[in-house]
Amino acid sequence: MVPRLAGYRRVELKTPAQVSAMRASGLVTAAALEKVKHLLVPGARAREIDAAAEQVIRAAGAAPNFLGYDGYPASICLSLNDVVVHGIPSDQVLRSGDIVSVDCGAVLDGWHSDAAITVVVGQTDARSEVLVEVTRQALWDGIAAFAKADRVGQIGEAIEASVEAAEPSFGIAREYTGHGIGSAMHMEPDVLNFASRYHGPKVRPGMVLAIEPIVVEGRIETSVDSDGWTVRTVDGKRAAHWEHTVARTAGGIWVLTAADGGADELAARGITPAPIA
Ligand code: MF3
Ligand code: CO
């Protein structure tokens, strides 16, 4: 979403029972993305990928929360190559070597979840792999920071440090941020993907955030197409985007949109996720 830098407004804190309800929503989004992952092959059509995601979401008794959001016409965002985020799935056909991000969300019993993956379609190459992997690592470094953070701003510090440490050097698309999530998809606070003097609100148990770094090969400036949604890099270079919905609880963190709650990736960072029953 677009940052508002509003500072210190009300952040919705969830009870353990509400975090559990959000986990159920998160697992629906995870299942939809798991399905989509296998469909990202050369020749696949964006519209069909959107339909497959919607089907998984509805079969679980949930609804796609993107559909109709500010008039958005689909259940997923499908962003190819120089499209940074918010690409609308339509007649696009995937080709080998494309970098494609799929962003997806669900609402179940009134609770929202939101997650995104980026993959290289078909034949991959070292440069594309690095862009995708640097972004994925930045997400997990941000998630790991959330486990220990006193302020939401520390997540962005960790994401920026993670991207800065990468070779070759990439940029962070600063015009879009992560966000609080819960009874609505986009809530307070903004979750920046870079360090800022705006340190953000205090981290508290019951806080649930969508953490979503966006990394670009070239210049960080973007523009929006005349459809009002599709965000592109101005220099035509490519972008990658990864996202998870993550709860901070009394016991630690729990990655609601990861089937294993983040256990695998967090173990490498010395963190054990803390599920709520
Ligand atoms: N996950 C996206 C975000 O946080 C939501 C896409 S906007 C929508 O920016 F309209 F597609 F829902
Ligand atoms: Co989001």
Q: Which residues pair with 101 in a beta bridge?
A: 79, 118
**From the alpha carbon of 243, which atom of ligand 1 is closest?**
1
With respect to residue 248, please indicate whether it lies within any of the assigned structural domains: yes
* pLDDT value for 36: 98
SS3 128: helix
Distance 139 CA to ligand 2 centre (A): 12
Query: Using CA atoms, how far apart are residues 68 and 73, in angstroms rounded to an integer?
Result: 6
Q: How many residues are recorded in the chain? A: 277
The reply to whether 46 falls in a domain is yes
Mean pLDDT, range 248-266, rounded to an integer? 98
Residues 6+ apart with CB under 8 A from 51: none
Q: HSE of 186 in the Cβ direction (CA atoms, 13 Å)?
A: 12
3 pLDDT band, cuts 50/70/90, is low
User: pLDDT at position 7, please?
Assistant: 46
204 pLDDT higher than 80:
yes
Alpha-carbon span 142 to 43, nearest angstrom: 34
212 in Cβ contact with 146 (< 8 Å):
no
- Name beta bridge partners: 100: 80, 119
Q: Residues 257-272: what's their mean pLDDT?
A: 98
The answer as to whether 165 is a domain residue is yes
In a domain, 277, yes or no: no
Pairing of strands 111-120, 187-191: unpaired
- In which band, very low, low, confident or very high, does the pLDDT at 198 lie, cut at 50, 70 and 90? confident
- DSSP element (H, E) containing 224: strand 222-224
4, pLDDT greater than 80:
no
Give me ligand 2 centre to Cα 213, in Å: 10
Task: Retrieve residue 73's tokens.
Answer: 């016409």
Mutational test site, ligand 1, from 85, 179, 225, 246, max ligand atoms within 8 Å of CB:
85
Q: Is the pLDDT of residue 9 over 80?
A: no
Q: Which residue has the tokens 């509003």?
A: 6
At residue 72, the pLDDT reads: 98
What the block records as the tokens of 124 is 């991959």
| Residues flanking ion ligand 2, Cβ below 5 Å | 114, 210
Average pLDDT over residues 212-220: 98
Residue 277 pLDDT exceeds 50: yes
Peptide bond into 168 cis (omega under 30): yes
Condensed to tens digits (0 to 9), the pLDDT of residues 33-66 reads 999 999 999 999 999 999 999 999 999 999 999 9
More confident residue, 10 or 115: 115
Domain count, the chain: 1
The pLDDT of residue 10 is 87
Nearest listed ligand to the Cα of residue 212: 2
231-258 average pLDDT score? 98
Pocket of ligand 1 (CB under 6 A): 1, 66, 69-70, 72, 77, 86, 103, 105, 114, 210
Non-local (6+) Cβ contacts of 96 within 8 A are 42, 121, 122, 123
Print the domain residue range for 114.
Answer: 16-267
CATH number reported for the structural domain that contains residue 54 in this entry: 3.90.230.10
Which residue matches tokens 């640097």? 134
Contact predicate 265/259, CB 8 Å: no
Decide if 205 is inside a domain. yes
240 falls within a domain: yes
How many Cβ atoms sit within 10 Å of the Cβ of residue 69?
13
Residue 3 within any structural domain of the chain = no
Q: Whose CA is nearest to atom 4 of ligand 1?
A: 1
Structure pTM?
Answer: 0.96
Does any domain span residue 8?
A: no
Mutate to test the pocket of ligand 1, among 86, 222, 230 (most ligand atoms within 8 A of CB): 86
Closest ligand 1 atom to Cα of 176:
9
Name the pLDDT band for 101 (thresholds 50, 70, 90).
Answer: very high
Specify the 3-state DSSP secondary structure of 220: coil
> Do the strands 76-80 and 99-108 form a parallel or antiparallel pair, or are they unpaired?
antiparallel
Region 202-208 average pLDDT: 97
Average pLDDT score over residue span 87-91: 98
pLDDT in tens, 117-173: 999 999 999 999 999 999 999 999 999 999 999 999 999 999 999 999 999 999 999
| Gap between the Cα atoms of 227 and 57, Å rounded | 26
Task: Indicate if the pLDDT at residue 31 is higher than 50.
Answer: yes
